[in-house]
């Protein structure tokens, strides 16, 4: 699951800074098995890290410090949350 967190347009008080908007998002991996969550999270990181294009657009995807794992007791599921920043040209 992809969760949008925030988006900025690259502007500062003095005007347009870099014309390179930035979006922050979290990717949440879920499974009843811990090993599946770890493997899926690693595959997401490999697929997104360092990408230069996405859906035909010029982008730069950067990992954030967010990488957390937990067990959700009521839902009998493991969850891993990964953070990313995407810079793109609009």
DSSP H or E run through 53: strand 53-54
Q: Measured at the alpha carbon of residue 71, what is the angle toward residues 70 and 73, in degrees to the nearest 5?
A: 145
Distance CA 36, CA 43 (A): 10
Reduced to 3 DSSP states, what percent helix, strand and coil does the chain have, rounded to the nearest 5? 20, 55, 25
Q: What is the pLDDT along the chain (90 residues), one digit of tens a residue?
A: 888 898 887 666 666 656 678 889 999 999 999 999 999 999 999 998 877 777 777 888 888 888 999 998 888 899 999 999 888 776
Instruction: Supply the pLDDT for residue 61.
Output: 86
Instruction: Supply the pLDDT for residue 35.
Output: 94
Residue ranges covered by each domain of the chain: 2-7+18-88
């Amino acid at each position: 699951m992809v969760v949008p967190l925030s988006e900025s347009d690259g502007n500062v008080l003095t005007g347009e800074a870099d014309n390179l908007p930035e979006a922050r998002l979290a990717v949440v991996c879920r499974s009843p098995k811990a090993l599946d969550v770890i493997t899926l999270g690693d595959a997401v990181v490999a697929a997104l890290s360092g990408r230069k294009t996405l859906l035909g657009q010029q982008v730069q995807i950067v990992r954030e410090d967010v990488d957390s794992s937990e067990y959700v007791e009521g839902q009998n599921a493991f969850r891993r949350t990964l953070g990313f920043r995407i810079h793109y040209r609009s």
